[in-house]
């Protein structure tokens, strides 16, 4: 193949990799449903089941913004670490909200990541998402899970 023909393909490769990172991050966020369901069933058995989908279009956009921000500000290795931590977190088992918080990885809890999360509007988007509405509606019962 001629080098001139390869140039557009090579130029597009980072965008495909970025889309893959974003897709993995969003999938990890939704995968949190399983460990959360297990924890809530154990510590607050009267709670209704979690909604079928935790996020929505607004949370997806905000979380995609986090990956874009991590890539732009701190590079691919940082964004990869953030995604890997999210994936590992989603596969974790925890028995309380406190034990869940203790499992948050160093890149996820890094002030640089938290600044991007705030700038991308993740907290605001999360409040209107199915998981946010669920937690607001059942906060009293969830206190048993602290």
- Burial letters for 1-39: b for 16+ Cβ neighbours within 10 Å, e otherwise? eeeeeeeeeeeeeeeeebeebbebbbebbbbbbebbeeb
Neighbours of 139 (CB within 10 A): 9
Sign of CA dihedral 136, 28, 145, 112: negative
2 within a domain of the structure (yes/no) = no
Average pLDDT over residues 8-33: 75
Render pLDDT for 75-131 as a digit per residue (tens, 0 to 9): 999 999 999 999 999 999 889 989 999 999 999 999 999 999 999 999 999 999 999
5 within a domain of the structure (yes/no) = no
Per-residue model confidence (pLDDT) at position 10: 40
The helix/strand count (H/E) of the chain reads as 9, 0
Per-residue model confidence (pLDDT) at position 131: 92
Whether residue 1 is predicted with pLDDT greater than 70 in this model: the reply is no
33 within a domain of the structure (yes/no) = yes
Per-residue model confidence (pLDDT) at position 91: 93
pTM: 0.83
Task: Tell me how many degrees the CA angle 56-105-119 measures, rounded to the nearest 5.
Answer: 50
Render pLDDT for 40-63 as a digit per residue (tens, 0 to 9): 999 999 999 999 899 999 999 999
Whether residue 136 is predicted with pLDDT greater than 60 in this model: the reply is yes
41 within a domain of the structure (yes/no) = yes
- Domain of residue 32: give its range: 18-145
The count of structural domains within the chain is 1
């Amino acid at each position: 193949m001629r080098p001139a023909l390869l140039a557009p393909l090579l130029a597009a490769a980072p965008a495909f990799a970025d889309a893959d990172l974003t897709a993995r991050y969003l999938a990890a966020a939704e995968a949190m449903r399983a460990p959360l369901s297990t924890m809530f069933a154990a510590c607050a058995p009267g709670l209704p089941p979690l909604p079928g989908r935790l996020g929505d279009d607004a949370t997806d956009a905000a979380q995609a913004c986090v990956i874009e921000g991590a890539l732009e500000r701190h590079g691919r290795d940082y964004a990869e670490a953030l995604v890997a931590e999210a994936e590992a977190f989603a596969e974790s088992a925890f028995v309380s909200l406190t034990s869940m918080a203790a499992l948050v990885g160093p890149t996820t809890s890094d002030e640089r990541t938290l600044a991007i999360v705030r700038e991308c509007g993740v907290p605001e988007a999360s409040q209107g998402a199915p998981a946010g509405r669920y937690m607001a509606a059942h906060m009293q019962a969830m206190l048993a899970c602290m």
